[in-house]
Amino acid sequence: MTRPLVGVLALQGDVREHLAALNDSGADAVGIRRPEELEKIDGLVIPGGESTTMSKLLQIFELLEPLKARLRDGLPAYGSCAGMILLASEILDTRPDAQHLGAIDMTVRRNAFGRQVDSFESDLEFEGIVGDPMRAVFIRAPWVERVGDDVQVLARVPESGGAAAGRIVAVRQGAVVATSFHPEVTGDRRVHELFVDIVRGV
Ligand SMILES: NC(=O)CC[C@H](N)C(=O)O
């Protein structure tokens, strides 16, 4: 599998940015809107956007159950921000009817950084990614409050992050990765390259 086929859930959110990042990172990328399109992909990205809206659209487009089934069968997945929220097994501060995929054993708090810091940027160390620190862009981002034993913490807010210092903002469980931040908007392709390697089974 030299150039795997990676889908981007294309119901809402920053789909275009992820398609471009995946194409730059050695994958062929395709938008996914219909259940049958899930069958042909080797991996899936769930973009940033609004998790409760995406949750509704997953049900309207009849994608929720087929996607859960593919994830249970081991489909590699990567979620940024709203995508991280959807991949969680438990969400705090969401709507009572919001659905989620439960692909990572973690508790995620929506809009965790608070209204006064809607958006901010920070330089992070990211486990397994060498070189310069990673510029992380947070936009009404969640953080992770609990991880299960099988979940690896990949990044935390650095000491300079004030009240949020030490909060978990990137995780991996098996072939599923999630970040609170948006590497797709910075031009730094290292998270997408890591994910494409996971999809390839490297
Ligand atoms: N940039 C984002 O994806 C924001 C996520 C959004 N706050 C949500 O709850 O879904």
Which atom of ligand 1 is nearest to 47's Cα? 3
Q: Is 184 assigned a catalytic role? A: yes
For the chain, what are the domain ranges?
A: 5-200
- The response to whether 50 counts as a known ligand-binding position is yes
* Angstrom distance (rounded) from CA 80 to CA 14: 10
pTM for the complete prediction? Answer: 0.96
* Angstrom distance (rounded) from CA 9 to CA 47: 7
- The response to whether 190 counts as a known ligand-binding position is no
11, 54, 85: which to mutate for ligand 1, most atoms within 8 A of CB?
A: 85
CATH 3.40.50.880 fits 5-200, yes or no: yes
pLDDT in tens for each of the 202 residues of the chain? 689 999 999 999 999 999 999 999 999 999 999 999 999 999 999 999 999 999 999 999 999 999 999 999 999 999 999 999 999 999 999 999 999 999 999 999 999 987 656 788 999 999 999 999 999 999 999 999 999 999 999 999 999 888 899 999 999 999 999 999 999 999 999 999 999 999 999 7
